[in-house]
Amino acid sequence: MSNIFFEKPILNSPYDYPTQHWELDETGQPTQKVVAARRQAEFITPIPKPKKRQAKDAQAELEIGHEVSSEEQQYHSAIINGVRAEVDKWRSIPNP
């Protein structure tokens, strides 16, 4: 089975406004779906799934909770998203 996410991970031009992104599930894994919007800034620590897992060799889950990022990183995400919103407002001003 092919994995489109890894075949073409970059969807946007570095010179244009980002118009789409790969959707990630709650664990940070790609869902193979493209979302037609800019992704919100957030700190995601994706953990790759093992290629093969046998029941007897199953590894115990690491008890780190749902959030891997720190409070400081979450604060930066709010600032980044705020700056992006202000830049979007600035871009929408007509250029004479």
Q: How far apart are the first and last CA of the chain?
A: 51
Task: Indicate the pairing of strand 21-24 with strand 30-35.
Answer: antiparallel
pTM, full prediction: 0.55
Residues 1-10, mean pLDDT to the nearest whole number: 82
For residue 33, is it within any domain? yes
Structure confidence at residue 90 as a pLDDT band (50, 70, 90) = very high
- CA dist 79 and 85 (Å) reads 10
Task: Tell me, yes or no, whether 44 lies in a domain.
Answer: no
Residue 24 counted as domain residue: yes
Rounded to whole angstroms, how far apart are CA atoms 17 and 31?
A: 23
Whether residues 1 and 35 fall in one domain: yes
- Which amino acid, residue 79? I
Task: Give the domain range for residue 14.
Answer: 1-39
Q: Specify if 49 maps to a domain.
A: no
| pLDDT at 35 (0 to 100) | 94
pLDDT of residue 92: 92
Q: What is the pLDDT of residues 12-71, one digit of tens each?
A: 999 998 999 999 888 778 899 999 999 888 776 656 666 666 655 555 555 555 555 566
